[in-house]
Amino acid sequence: MDFALPEEHEAFRDIARRWVDAEVPKSWARELEADEDNYPFALWDKFTEAGFHGVGIAEEYGGQGGDVQMQMVLARELARSLGGLAWIWGITSFAGSKSIGIYGTEEQKRKYLPQIASGNLKAAIAFTEPSGGTDLLGGMRSTARKVEGGWAVSGEKIWSSSAHVADRLLVLARTDSTVEKKHQGLTLFWMDPKQDAVKITPLAKLGMRSMGSCSIHMEEAFVADEDVLGTPDKAWYTLLPTLNNERIMVGSFCLGVLDGVLEDALDYAKERKAFGRPIGQFQAIQHYIADIATMLTTTELLVNYAAWKMSEGLDCGLESNMVKMVASENANKAADLGIQILGGMGYSAETDMQRYWRDSRLWRIGPITNEMVRNSIAETLGLPRSF
């Protein structure tokens, strides 16, 4: 059994790793993340110059090509330095290239994918409702009604990352309230947020600060018929395959955080001295580092397996859930151990452990809570539904 990445992916990983070290070092990531009031456009532009927005987009639409495994390799390498700021690339990659690339019409692909690949279009996801959280379907209050030439969308969304700078919002709304089941009667809209009917407000939060997460108020916001994604009223069936992609991507970001945590923990354990010797000689520190390394390898195997299954077109729903759960918990626990290893410096904004911890803490909650992931895994194994 071969656990190695394909040669092409290994070569791309090496290129991405060198690029990260040269172009987006951890010291710069700390500066960007600390500036909560300003979106890091310079980081977006660096991704554009490197061609990363085109990874996963077919060459015929102006992209770089590459499968899901290639996409996950990039996610991991970016997060090693950037932590949660890697989502600045990931959001548009999911909301734009993966969503439109999978269920967009040919006209939509030819119109929007080249704009995404060239870095000229930023997208944001607008699914979560203030009253819903993880209960996305039960809490859905946003509605859309048919009007001449399109749809009028009204409602509230929350925790929409980078919505304040987005050129398009991927909005989920109810278009039929007479359905028997909650997952029916939903439609996906590719909305232009730059209209008076859309009000976007950034929210203060613990981590991933400068990328911005926002609340969105829509009051009869217009979406043209040609910007409906998939079949009206059938959005949930359309979304399910892409949700697996999002969860594997989260796992890959967490894997990158684990890389960064281990890297920093080892460096500090070798350099820092106490009681006349390097702290890496102390058994407690060695155990912490051994635990981090084991969590990294465990996560790596699971991420690569799930990404491989998706690339091969195999069912990966169970594995994508496991990846999201295991990776987020491992990354957050490892970052916490990293803070302990660094002691007071781990709590300092001058180092990256606190940033890794703050960013990875979110991934235990979103895009779906790990408690709900466990429910889904148990149900997949044949147990009765618990909610």
Which is more confident, 37 or 254?
A: 254
Structure confidence at residue 241 as a pLDDT band (50, 70, 90): confident
In a domain, 1, yes or no: no
Q: Which domain CATH number covers 271?
A: 1.20.140.10
Average pLDDT value for residue range 79-96 = 92
Whether 385 maps to a domain, the answer reads no
Q: Is the pLDDT of residue 328 over 60?
A: yes
pLDDT over threshold 60, residue 294: yes
Asked whether residue 285 is assigned to any structural domain, the reply reads yes
Residue 249, CA distances (Å) to 78, 87, 89, 315, 321 in order: 12, 10, 11, 16, 11
Which residues have a Cβ under 8 Å from the Cβ of 320 and sit 6 or more positions away? 243, 244, 245, 247, 248, 251, 306, 310
Element (H, E) at 243: helix 235-271
**pLDDT band at residue 20 under the 50/70/90 scheme:** very high
- Domain presence at residue 171: yes
Q: Which of 122, 139, 173 finishes a domain? A: 122
- Please give the structure tokens belonging to residue 192: 């232009």
Residue 311 included in any domain: yes
Q: What domain range includes position 217? A: 125-233
The mean pLDDT value for 26-53 works out to 95
160, β-bridge pairs: 214
Q: Do 311 and 242 lie in a common domain?
A: yes
- DSSP 8-state assignment for residue 385: P
Per-residue model confidence (pLDDT) at position 231: 93
Using 50, 70 and 90 to split pLDDT, how confident is the model at 98? confident
End-to-end alpha carbon distance in the chain: 39
pLDDT band at 2 (very low <50, low <70, confident <90, very high): low
Query: Which of 66, 98, 122 is at the close of a domain?
Result: 122
Q: Round to whole Å and give the CA distance between 18 and 84.
A: 19
Specify if 272 maps to a domain.
Answer: yes
Residue type, 27: S
Report the distance separating Cα 107 and Cα 84, nearest Å: 33
**Closest to 53 measured CA to CA, from 11, 15, 16, 90:** 90
Query: What is the per-residue burial (b if ≥16 Cβ within 10 Å, else e) of 88-127?
Result: bbbbbbbbbbbbbbebbeeebbebbbbbbbebebbbbbbb
The 3-state secondary structure of 124-143 reads EEECCCCCCCCCCCCCCCCE
**Is the separation of the CB atoms in 254 and 346 below 8 Å?**
no
Q: Are 208 and 314 contained in the same domain?
A: no
Does residue 274 lie within any of the structural domains?
yes
Q: How many domains does the chain have?
A: 3
Residue 2 within any structural domain of the chain:
no
Residue 1's pLDDT is: 55
42-71: average pLDDT: 94
Of 62-66, 91-95, 295-299, the range with the lowest mean pLDDT is 91-95
Mean pLDDT, residues 307-330 taken together: 95
- pLDDT value for 156: 97
Same domain (yes/no): 104, 154: no
- Identity (one letter) of the amino acid at 18? R
* Mean pLDDT value of segment 251-274: 98
**Which CATH number does the domain housing residue 116 bear?**
1.10.540.10
Answer yes or no: do 205 and 310 share one domain.
no
Indicate whether 25 and 97 sit together in one domain: yes
Q: Are residues 349 and 336 part of one domain?
A: yes
- Residue that terminates a domain, selected from 122, 139, 174: 122
Co-location of 217 and 133 in the same domain = yes
Distances (CA, A) of 13 to 70, 133, 327, 328: 8, 35, 19, 22
Q: Are residues 182 and 252 in the same domain?
A: no
The two tokens of residue 226 are 């040609």
